[in-house]
Amino acid sequence: MNIQDYKGVFVFAQQVDNVLSGIALELVGKGKDLAKDLNTEVTAVLVGSDIKGLADELAEYGADKVIVVDDPELKEYRTEPYAHALASVINEFKPEIFLVGATAIGRDLGPRVSARIHTGLTADCTQLDIGDFPINPVPGKEQLHNQLLMTRPAFGGNTIATIACPDFRPQMATVRPGVMQKAPREAGKKANVVEFNPGFTPNDKYVEILKVVKAVSDVADIMDAKILVSGGRGVGSPENFKILEELAEVIGGTVSCSRAVVDAGWKPKDLQVGQTGKTVRPNVYFAIGISGAIQHVAGMEEADIIIAINKDETAPIFDVADYGIVGDLNKIVPALTERLKAELAAK
Amino acid sequence: MKVVVCVKQVPDTKGGVKFNPDGTLDRGAMLTIMNPDDKAGLEAALRLKDQYGAEVTVVTMGLPKAEEVLREAMAMGADKGILVTDRVLGGADTWATSQTIAGAIRNLEYDLIITGRQAIDGDTAQVGPQISEHLGIPVISYAQKIEIEDDHVIVERQYDDRYHVLKAKMPCLITALAELNEPRYMTPGGIFDAYNAEITVWGRDKLVDVEDSNLGLKGSPTQIAKASDKVRKGAGEKVTLDPAASVDYIVDKLKVKHVI
């Protein structure tokens, strides 16, 4: 492998049902920053069936180039044809960096692709920088410049590690959704669109999709919410989430929850905040009856304002809360809802 | 039917994480457990044993101490335990780890390989799909339900807002979610037998079709540039007030911050 041959920052533009996922635009935004540091371009790789129309949207969010791999075999996500698409793009275009979302799709696709082309893959990154490796000069070891430094939490969020991939290309990372910022949309901006089809011949590795079952959910995505009213085991019962829903409605927020609540079957998985749920960064995060296990905190600590209500004054949630109230949520939350109703009506 | 289950011995992060004075993880001071997703994978395999008489072989890679998880697996009902351990395998990233485990599995006959989705220490979710790639078989990640139909598996594969029902021809690799099932307990008889059972130990020389350049720290494409404790922003204010005063306090803060 001649590392010098590998140029440019590529991102996997994930789409589901021919709608771009939020992570696709976040990666274009981050890829643009990295490309600027490297004095190169950001290329979005769009994979699917009849998806060419999405290229303009990627351009408006900052993609300089869009590679479109369009084939009927790619209609729904399946590991093998998607891995073949990305591995073929990498072999053909030789990017120095390749970013994939750390979604239920990307965390399956990324490892399969990295194993196929023999490179490193850093999982669930929360920060990406261009820098030197080793970070500080080490006698007898060449310090490489313009390396991708990939930072990620490990051990349930207790430690932070920064990883490099000095000897293989592309440098690959999966990136946690909700962490990177998308760039402002520039209407009418165009990208260089290149169509590329490596050919898709089904074999035993192409699994058959018998059925697609979509969760019946009219709930807003908690990752887009400006205000989250989040409940934990301390809420006590699924019925008692009603007091959180009432507060959310008055203040224009959305209800989310901790893992314990999902495990207990009180709320669906798509409302779960935390390491194994979603990473959120709302303006206000109400943590109600949530003890604040480190895995939960890892998913919400970037919120601008954290307000915690818990009857246990030793609950670890108070270690990250801006405003902590020790008290009975069953008394405080309904009273808060009534008071806010009055305050907002008076405006 | 032959099922291979890959398990990992991990520090129990629920019991708190202990650090050495230099900031590295003090693994000796932490309790270890069988990784939860792996345990669900093992339970899924044991159900295939109950239902179809499948033979269940458990493979782990780690220090000699990792034989503990193999004995636990056998006490739950697994037929055979294989420990892959060798000094040259130390410091492996997911690429080198998946190369090692694939090299070990090439010695075995299998219809199905089951791994956990991810381990609670690294949280990467990479090793399962990477093993499948090295072995050239299909992978189905994030399994929430597994059924067998002749020489095919039917699996419910979880996504954020949906699941797909997938059908794959065996051999196939599946990564299991902890939600898949409720793992059984070890039985007293099983514990007794597992304590006396022979554990197969394999070193580097037993790995099939793996180059030295793909093993251990030296065979790992990713390298650690820096590791540190997470710096958190720290606690803000904490108050204990009666409910009415608590409400005043919150409303005041929401006003100061221009939320309302």
Q: Give how far the C-alpha of residue B215 lies from the chain's centroid of Cα atoms, to the nearest Å.
A: 20
Least confident piece of the model among A270-279, B152-161, B174-183? A270-279
Mean pLDDT rounded to a whole number for chain A: 94
SS3 call for A86? helix
User: Left, alpha or beta for A94 (phi > 0: left; psi -120 to 50: alpha)?
Assistant: left
Looking at chain A from residue 212 to 231, which residues have their Cβ under 8 Å from any Cβ of chain B?
A: 212-215, 217, 227
Q: What is the mean pLDDT of residues A130-143?
A: 94
Q: What is the pLDDT of residues A59-72, one digit of tens each?
A: 999 999 999 999 99
Asked if the model's pLDDT at residue B20 lies above 70, the reply is no
* Whether A337 contacts chain B with CB within 8 A: no
Chain-centre distance for alpha carbon A29? 13
> Against a cut of 0.90, is the pTM above it?
no
d(CA A292, CA A316): 5
User: Which residue in B124, B137, B223 is closest to A123 by CB distance?
Assistant: B124
All domains of chain A in start order, with CATH: 3-195 (3.40.50.620), 222-345 (3.40.50.1220)
Band (B14; pLDDT cuts 50, 70, 90): low
Give the separation between CA A137 and CA A112, rounded to whole angstroms. Answer: 34
Q: How far is A193 from chain B (nearest CA, A)?
A: 29
If you measure CA to CA, which chain A residue comes closest to B24? A159
pLDDT score of B161: 80
The reported pLDDT for the residue numbered B179 is 79
Tell me the pLDDT tens digit for each residue of B185-236.
998 889 999 998 999 999 999 999 999 999 999 999 999 999 877 666 678 9
Chain A residues close to B158, C-beta within 8 Å: 104
CA distance A283 to chain B (A): 8
Asked whether the beta carbons of residue A111 and residue B126 sit closer than 8 angstroms, the reply is yes
Task: Indicate if the pLDDT at residue A45 is higher than 80.
Answer: yes
pLDDT tens for A214-269 read: 976 555 678 888 899 999 999 999 999 999 999 999 999 999 999 999 989 999 88
Instruction: Select the residue of A163, A321, A344 nearest B222 (Cβ to Cβ).
Output: A163
User: What is the pLDDT at residue A281?
Assistant: 85
A290 is in an annotated binding site: yes
| Contact state of A332 with B166 under an 8 Å Cβ cutoff | no
Could you tell me the sign of the dihedral formed by the alpha carbons of A156, A162, A167, A171, in that order? Answer: positive
User: Which residue from B170, B255, B194, B210 is spatially nearest to B70, judged by alpha carbons?
Assistant: B194
Q: Is the dihedral of CA B62, B63, B64, B68 positive or negative?
A: negative
Q: How many residues does chain B have?
A: 260
Which residues in chain A (47-76) have CB-CB distances under 8 A to chain B?
76
Closest-CA residue to B260 (of A223, A331, A345, A245): A345
Report whether A85 contacts A197 (CB < 8 A): no
Distance from CA of A62 to the nearest CA of B (A): 26
Tell me whether residue A276 is annotated as binding.
yes
Q: What is each CA distance from B191 to B72, B73, B116, B185, in whole angstroms? A: 7, 9, 23, 10
Separation between Cα atoms, residue B41 and residue B127, nearest integer Å: 14
User: Strand order of the sheet with strand A9-12?
Assistant: A121-125, A171-175, A97-101, A9-12, A42-48, A65-70, A192-195
Output the average pLDDT for chain B: 92
So what's the pLDDT on residue B56? 98
Residue with more model confidence, A195 or B122: A195
* H or E element in which residue A287 lies: strand A284-288
Which residue reads 């202990």 in tokens? Answer: B18
Chain A, window 136-175: residues with a beta carbon less than 8 angstroms from a chain B beta carbon:
149, 153-168
Chain B residue with the nearest C-alpha to that of A283:
B259
Which chain B residue shows the shortest CA-CA distance from A168? B221
B138 contacts A207? CB cut-off 8 A: yes
The pLDDT value recorded for residue A276 is 78
Domains of chain B: 2-214 (3.40.50.620)
> Do A273 and A223 form a contact (C-beta atoms < 8 A)?
no
Which residue among B93, B133, B253 places its CB closest to the CB of A120? B93
> From CA B249, how far away is CA A190, in angstroms rounded?
50
The pLDDT > 70 percentage for chain B reads: 92
